Amino acid sequence: MKLRRPAGLCLAFAIGFAVTTPAWSEPAEPGPTLAGVLDKGYVQCGVSQGLPGFSNPDAAGEWTGIDVDLCRAIAAAIFADVTAVRFTPLSAKERFTALQSREIDVLSRNTTWTLDRDTSLGVNFAGVNYYDGQGLMVRKDIGVTDALELNGVTLCTNTGTTTELNVADFFRSNNLDYKVLAFEKADEVVAAYNANRCDVYTTDVSGLAAQRLKLTDPDAHVILDTTISKEPLGPAVRQGDDQWLDIVRWTLNVMVAAEELGVTSANVQEMTASTNPQIKRLLGTEGAFGEALGLSNAWALNVIAAVGNYGESFERNLGKDTPLGLARGQNALYRDGGLQYAIPVR
């Protein structure tokens, strides 16, 4: 029996690739992301590894949260099927590489919109679905009410986020001494803060509200009123595909527009008979906006029927009746004193 000498290292790599053929995704057609999504039959959505209110799996593996709702809205817009979506939990470190390498189609992971990310990371942000700020959580018994009293503290935060930089900026510009500990995973930060390793836990205010639930005694901690930065959180897509960017941007937009016009998931079917021209354009009774985006004309109707308008999504995931209990605050509609302002659908 004669055996030929194998071609060295090539075999090594070939083993790695060949064994796993069924696990590859098909190479995307050169062209827009939408073609790939239609081909696959679902939207691949990058979410967090578990942040209550934004994207959190329950014990049965069902995902809920406003970022998750946005993903479902996109799926509804494209497929009229809210289940045509798969979720990839991503850490802060790998979220952008997952998007860049086409592992996911859209990153809906409470990601702050910054200039640096818009440019040097090769992503585009499609809007803001939550206006947030970086907050500070301390124990009630240290008796601090204002952030400027925090001189010489130790802070715990997540690595790989804007929080470390914001902390440096805030404390230095106010001539306060500080030390910061940056952990890899959010759960480790919670554990260290819980064990009193640090005086302050800092991350986005919404994140603080969510993580406070995981502490031993949530009521012994208070979130200070000071926010030390602006954190506009929104979905991100890859650069170079304007059509996909439009789809994501306008899906988010119609959710806000629906709330402005009073269209909810409950009354959306009746509203198709409305004579209000704005509602007619929104729901596709008039105009061909859906097709201009590459979707069906009933795309907005599907979105609202599936996940409701922005206000419903907010109340369901972050509102007064949830453990987080966050007020609309900056996320109210512009006419209620907030920042959510729908671009006109026309």
Partner 1 sequence: MAGSQPPAQTGAQTGPQTGAVPRPALINDARVRAIVYQALTLAVVVWLGAEIWTNAVSNLERANIASGFGFLDTTAGFGIVQTLVPYTEESTYAQAFLVGLLNTLLVAVVGIVLATVLGFLVGIGSLSRNWLIRQICIVYVETMRNIPLLLHIFFWYFAVLRSVPGPRDSLEFLGSIFVNNRGVYFPRPVAEEGFGLVVMAVAVGIAISVGLARWAKQRRERTGQPFPVACASFGLCVGVPLVLFASIGQPLTFDYPVLQGFNFRGGLVMIPEFLSLLLALSIYSAAFIAENVRSGILAVNKGQTEAAYALGLQPGQTMRLVIIPQALRVIIPPLTSQYLNLTKNSSLAVAIAYPDLVSVFAGTVLNQTGQAVEILFLTMAVYLTLSLLTSLVMNWYNKKFALAER
Partner 2 sequence: MPTHASPLTFVRTQTVPVSPPPRPRRGVVGWVRENLFSSIGNTVLTVFGVYLIAVTVPPVLDWAVFSATWSGTGREACLREGAGACWPFIDAKMGQFIYGRYPLDERWRVDWTFFIGVAALVPLLIPSLPYKGWNAVFLLVPYPIIAFILLTGGVFGLPEVETSLWGGMLVTLVVAITGIVASLPLGVLLALGRRSHLPVIRMLCIGFIEIWRGVPLITVLFMASVMLPLFLPEGVTFDKLLRCLVAVALFSAAYMAEVVRGGLQAIPRGQYEGAQALGLTYWQTMLFIILPQALKIVIPGIVNNFIALFKDTTLVLIIGLFDLLGIIQLNFTDAEWSTPQTAVTGYVFAAMVYFVICSGMSQYSRYMERRLDTGHRND
Q: Which residues bind partner 2 (CB under 8 A)?
A: 1-3, 5-6, 8-9, 11-12, 15-16, 19-20, 22-28, 49-50, 57, 59-61, 86-91, 93-94, 97-98, 100-103, 184, 187, 190-191, 213-216
Smallest distance, partner 1 to C-beta of residue 126, A: 17
Report yes or no: 254 and 302 within 8 Å, Cβ to Cβ: no
Q: Say which entry of partner 2, partner 1, none residue 61 contacts (CB below 5 to 8 A, set by partner kind).
A: partner 2
Contacts of 246 (CB under 8 A, 6+ apart): 293
Q: Say which entry of partner 1, partner 2, none residue 190 contacts (CB below 5 to 8 A, set by partner kind).
A: partner 2
Residue with smaller CB distance to partner 2, 59 or 288:
59
Smallest distance, partner 2 to C-beta of residue 121, A: 13
Smallest distance, partner 2 to C-beta of residue 216, A: 6
Q: Which residues pair with 158 in a beta bridge?
A: 183
Q: Say which entry of partner 1, partner 2, none residue 167 contacts (CB below 5 to 8 A, set by partner kind).
A: partner 1
d(CA 184, CA 231): 20
Report yes or no: 337 and 329 within 8 Å, Cβ to Cβ: no
Residue with smaller CB distance to partner 1, 195 or 327:
195
Smallest distance, partner 2 to C-beta of residue 67, A: 16
Report yes or no: 117 and 80 within 8 Å, Cβ to Cβ: no
Our measurement of the distance from residue 334's CA atom to the centroid of its chain's CA atoms, rounded to an integer in Å, reads 21
Q: Is 184 left (phi over 0), alpha (psi -120 to 50) or beta?
A: alpha
Q: What is the dihedral of CA 19, 84, 105, 110, to 10 degrees?
A: -120
Positive or negative, the CA dihedral 241, 63, 260, 335 is: negative
Smallest distance, partner 1 to C-beta of residue 253, A: 25
Report yes or no: 206 and 111 within 8 Å, Cβ to Cβ: no
Residue with smaller CB distance to partner 1, 128 or 150:
150
Residue with smaller CB distance to partner 2, 5 or 335:
5
Positive or negative, the CA dihedral 95, 99, 104, 106 is: positive
Q: Say which entry of partner 2, partner 1, none residue 1 contacts (CB below 5 to 8 A, set by partner kind).
A: partner 2
Smallest distance, partner 2 to C-beta of residue 295, A: 23
Q: Which residues pair with 230 in a beta bridge?
A: 133
Type of residue at 265: S
Residues in contact with partner 1 by CB under 8 A are 5, 7-10, 13, 92-93, 96-97, 100-101, 119-122, 142, 150-154, 156, 159-161, 164-165, 167-169, 172, 177-184, 188, 191-192, 195-197, 199, 238-240
Residue with smaller CB distance to partner 2, 29 or 116:
29
Q: Say which entry of partner 1, partner 2, none residue 213 contacts (CB below 5 to 8 A, set by partner kind).
A: partner 2
Q: Say which entry of partner 2, partner 1, none residue 87 contacts (CB below 5 to 8 A, set by partner kind).
A: partner 2
293: nearest Cα among 258, 245, 338: 245
DSSP string covering 132-180: EEEEEEEEGGG---SGGG-TTEEEEEETTSTHHHHHHHHHHHTT--EEE
Smallest distance, partner 1 to C-beta of residue 120, A: 5
d(CA 53, CA 207): 9
Q: Where are the alpha helices (DSSP H) in 56-114?
A: 66-79, 95-100
Q: Say which entry of partner 2, partner 1, none residue 150 contacts (CB below 5 to 8 A, set by partner kind).
A: partner 1
Q: Say which entry of partner 1, partner 2, none residue 3 contacts (CB below 5 to 8 A, set by partner kind).
A: partner 2
Smallest distance, partner 1 to C-beta of residue 289, A: 30
Residue with smaller CB distance to partner 2, 1 or 115:
1
Of the chain, the end-to-end C-alpha distance in Å amounts to 75
